[in-house]
Structure 1
Amino acid sequence: MYALVDCNHFFVSCERLFRPDLRNHPVCVLSNNDGCVVSLSHEAKILGIKRGVPLFQIADIVKKNNIAIFSSNYLLYSGISERVMKIITDTAKNVDVYSIDEAFIDLRNYEKKELVPLMRLLAEKIKKWVGIPVSIGVAPTKTLAKVAAHYAKKYKGYKQVCCIDDEQKRVKALSTFDIADVWGIGRQFSKKLTSFGVNTAYDFTQKKEFWVQKHFTIMGVRAWKELQGIPTINTTEINRKQSICTSRSFGATVTDIESLKESIAHFTAMSAQKLRKQNSIANIISVFILTDRFSKQEEHYYHTRSMALPVGTNDTAELILYAHQLLTELYKRGKAYKKSGVILSGIVPNSSVQQNMFDNLKNREKRSLLNKVVDNINSKSGLNSVKYAAQISTDKKWTTKTSFKSPDYLTNINELFEVH
């Protein structure tokens, strides 16, 4: 059996943690540059707001209902996520942190009768110690655990924990579960399935395996088996990304190369940190820059350039050096750039480094230790507490717009929560 611990409306719950006056009030959290709604409370859903809708389209609803709007504060969310995940890993063995607000627990070493009471205690502990509400699904596979967590969140009668532990419960749960919401199916797969008359997860399980193999990829077959109660998905493999892209649209257009270099250095450092977190290295780095495609003043410019690295690496300073080289080749004076980004690919485990006798870096072991120290400091003290000079700027014209951002309560001593 597996459990999925899923934080309810996570970004909204994080904001409400420091704003208890918003507990039963409609709240929406926006994407980068305050563009679209990425997280919303139950109260906001009742008003007809949907995830992904642009802010300008709901401006009248926001004003009429006094909806609380927040810019995404990822530094705050990651800090709260670390606290939630620490409780989970301290409480249970074999925990796989899947995302910022989800974690799987392998429950195969526990007695069946212990599962629901244990998970209910975990949910209560997270709520009491951190203040974040969670829903927990328990089932024979990770995909079914996702289905169970959906019902635990939707129906209060489950008291935060829904368990699918027999055939009757499995069939009942899948019979009313939309095929588009099944983990691993996706929008394109769901459209194809509905064209075949498959509207629910249960409909999908009634198809023969050879039919699924004929019409879908290996991921479709895995999803079908998981819904049957046959474990096939290794989330550790899923989490080890084959490419890492970090990019942002700028709050204002940028014309000078120095500002672009700062943005590229910042995105490269973020990508390198993600690489190290999954114990991997990259063999290819790509950089892209583009102008505003909606601008009527100039022709849209988008170009990318890639480089095969002489030695696979996750070293921040080395990757920034290569990224700046590529940017210099791409940059055209006089253009107003709206977005830049970095892509690391050719990703393999640390153990797969192919050495090069002509490698110019002779102190890779020491630099690896330096990166580890920097990551530890930033983990404890907040993102970018320690950073490279290439990332530092007094005028970050390239940063995203965050007009509704909450304070960094956990990492900035000047923005600590005040109690009056």
Structure 2
Amino acid sequence: MYALVDCNNFFVSCERTLDPALEGKPVVVLSNNDGCVVSRSKEAKDLGIPMAAPAFKYKELFKQHDVKSFSAKFELYNYKSQQVINIASSYVLDYEVYSIDELFLDLTGFKYIDIYDYCFKIKEEIDEKENIPVSIGVAPSKTLCKVANRIVKDFPEQFNGVYIMDTPEKIEKALKWLNIGDVWGIGRKLAVKMNDSGVYKAWDLLQKPEAWVRKIMGIHGIRMINELKGIRQLELDAPSPKKSIAVTRSFMQMLTNKEDIRERIETFGMYCSERLRRQNTCCRMITVFVQTNRFRKDLPEYRNGMTQILPNPTNSSILIGRVVNELFEAIYKDGFHYKRAGVMVNDFVPEDQRQISLFEEDTQNQHLPVMKAMDAMNRKYGKDKVRLGSMSGENTFGRTQLSPEYEAFLKNNTLPEANFRFH
């Protein structure tokens, strides 16, 4: 059996840990640049505020119903996620972190333990220690865990946060209730195609011949129907090493000043190098791009990008910053209103397995002690407290609705570094 631990309205729940007075009130959390709704409390959902709703379109509704809106506090969400993962994973030998607010637990071999009581204990400890409400769905396969978890969230009064789907009767009842578009792995377009073929519920898919499923969905479809039958096809996955790192951002306002754009792009490069050092890798390829607002048809449009292959792999902020600056100079053009830019690094090698060019000077090792000292100080005193001179230190998310209390919270280094980053 697997268990899926899923944090309820995670970002909103994190906000309520800072301010308990928000409990029971409509609350939304906004995306980068405070643009769209990325998390809603149940009270906000009941007001008809959809996910990804543009905040400016709902200003009047927010005001009318006293909806509290907050800029995303990424550092807090990272930290809370790690705390939840640490608690839940301490109950099992094997687990998989699926996303910032979800993880699968492997309950295989728990034959002499009351699984409901065990999962309820996990839920209670997370709530007691972190004040984060979670739903736990238990089932023979990962796909059925998703279904069980959805049932817990849709019928909270009946299941008290934990539901175990462990019999053919429970599975059949759940699949006859679940819309095909809500099955894990069925997208909107595929759901339309399914509806056209008379498949409206998940149970309807199991009644189709295997040849039909294979024709519509390929081998992925066969795995899916087996998962829905409770035949395990998806094992727990270990985190795979990243093949690329990208830091891209849309600006709050369109930028026309070259130095403002340069500072943002160099900052993105610094964040890329920081993440390379965290996973003890170096990159051999760096890409920089800029683009204007494609929705502003009244303004001239321009987009461009350029890639450079490095003679020696590096994770030095100084070296990567120099390359990023050179690439920016090559692609920048005056006279445009820039809305988006980004830096990507690719082609990784382990830090201790770098192949050095015989014909190029290698300064990576000279910079390494400085970089490690800078990283250590930033871990101790807070993000970007020590930085290169080209960085302004301003956040790149465009978060205008952060409270002074939270800013003080960060300055006091209350939150240690976590695994998830939003750069």
Aligned to 1:107: 107
Q: Kindly indicate whether the alpha-carbon contact (under 8 Å) linking 2:382 and 2:413 is maintained by their aligned counterparts in 1.
A: no
- Aligned partner (choices 398, 403, 408) of residue 400 of structure 2: 403
The within-5 A match list for 1:76-87 is 76-87=76-87
1:12 equivalent to 2:12? Answer: yes
In structure 2, relative to structure 1, the CA distance for the partners of 1:235 and 1:280 (3 Å cut) is farther
Q: How far apart in 1 are the matches of 2:376 and 2:174?
A: 43
Q: Could you say what secondary structure the match of 1:229 adopts? A: coil
Q: Could you say what secondary structure the match of 1:91 adopts? A: coil
Give the aligned residue type for 2:399. T
Greater CA deviation, 236-245 or 107-116? Answer: 236-245
Greater CA deviation, 336-345 or 117-126? Answer: 336-345
Stretches of structure 2 that go unaligned for 5 or more consecutive residues are 416-423
Q: Give 1:172 deviation, angstroms.
A: 1.6
Aligned to 1:334: 335
Q: How far apart in 1 are the matches of 2:111 and 2:372?
A: 39
Give the aligned residue type for 1:411. L
How does the TM-score come out when normalised to structure 2?
Answer: 0.85
In structure 2, relative to structure 1, the CA distance for the partners of 1:234 and 1:415 (3 Å cut) is closer
The within-5 A match list for 1:150-299 is 150-156=150-156, 157-234=158-235, 236=237, 240-274=241-275, 282-295=283-296, 298-299=299-300
Question: Which deviations, in whole Å up to 9, do the C-alpha atoms of 1:130-185 show, x marking residues without a partner?
Answer: 11101111112222212211112222221211112222222222222222222222
1:142 equivalent to 2:142? Answer: yes
Q: Could you say what secondary structure the match of 2:135 adopts? A: strand
In structure 2, relative to structure 1, the CA distance for the partners of 1:128 and 1:186 (3 Å cut) is same
Give the aligned residue type for 1:71. S
Aligned to 2:75: 75
1:412 equivalent to 2:411? Answer: yes
Q: Kindly indicate whether the alpha-carbon contact (under 8 Å) linking 1:79 and 1:410 is maintained by their aligned counterparts in 2.
A: no
Q: How far apart in 2 are the matches of 1:221 and 1:350?
A: 38
Q: How far apart in 2 are the matches of 1:317 and 1:13?
A: 39
Q: Kindly indicate whether the alpha-carbon contact (under 8 Å) linking 1:185 and 1:223 is maintained by their aligned counterparts in 2.
A: no
CA RMSD of aligned residues (A): 3.2
- Identical aligned residues as a percent: 37
Q: How far apart in 1 are the matches of 2:105 and 2:89?
A: 9
1:37 equivalent to 2:34? Answer: no
In structure 2, relative to structure 1, the CA distance for the partners of 1:163 and 1:52 (3 Å cut) is same
Q: How far apart in 2 are the matches of 1:170 and 1:370?
A: 57
Q: How far apart in 2 are the matches of 1:318 and 1:120?
A: 51
1:66 equivalent to 2:66? Answer: yes
Q: Give 1:295 deviation, angstroms.
A: 3.5
Q: How far apart in 2 are the matches of 1:318 and 1:237?
A: 32
Q: Give 1:410 deviation, angstroms.
A: 4.6
Question: Which deviations, in whole Å up to 9, do the C-alpha atoms of 1:175-218 show, x marking residues without a partner?
Answer: 22222222222233323322322222222233344433322255
**Paired positions, count:** 412
Q: Give 1:340 deviation, angstroms.
A: 0.7
Q: How far apart in 2 are the matches of 1:180 and 1:280?
A: 40
Q: Kindly indicate whether the alpha-carbon contact (under 8 Å) linking 2:311 and 2:360 is maintained by their aligned counterparts in 1.
A: no
Greater CA deviation, 49-58 or 372-381? Answer: 372-381
1:122 equivalent to 2:122? Answer: yes
Q: Could you say what secondary structure the match of 1:197 adopts? A: coil
Greater CA deviation, 66-75 or 216-225? Answer: 216-225
Q: How far apart in 1 are the matches of 2:139 and 2:399?
A: 40
In structure 2, relative to structure 1, the CA distance for the partners of 1:304 and 1:413 (3 Å cut) is same
Q: Give 1:356 deviation, angstroms.
A: 4.7
Q: Give 1:229 deviation, angstroms.
A: 2.2
In structure 2, relative to structure 1, the CA distance for the partners of 1:164 and 1:357 (3 Å cut) is same
Q: How far apart in 1 are the matches of 2:262 and 2:203?
A: 52
Q: Could you say what secondary structure the match of 2:49 adopts? A: coil
In structure 2, relative to structure 1, the CA distance for the partners of 1:171 and 1:285 (3 Å cut) is farther
In structure 2, relative to structure 1, the CA distance for the partners of 1:126 and 1:368 (3 Å cut) is farther
How does the TM-score come out when normalised to structure 1?
Answer: 0.85
Q: How far apart in 1 are the matches of 2:341 and 2:329?
A: 13
Stretches of structure 1 that go unaligned for 5 or more consecutive residues are none
The within-5 A match list for 1:84-103 is 84-103=84-103
In structure 2, relative to structure 1, the CA distance for the partners of 1:192 and 1:118 (3 Å cut) is same
Greater CA deviation, 333-342 or 21-30? Answer: 333-342
Greater CA deviation, 40-49 or 79-88? Answer: 79-88
Q: Give 1:111 deviation, angstroms.
A: 2.3
Q: Give 1:357 deviation, angstroms.
A: 3.8
Q: Kindly indicate whether the alpha-carbon contact (under 8 Å) linking 1:144 and 1:229 is maintained by their aligned counterparts in 2.
A: yes
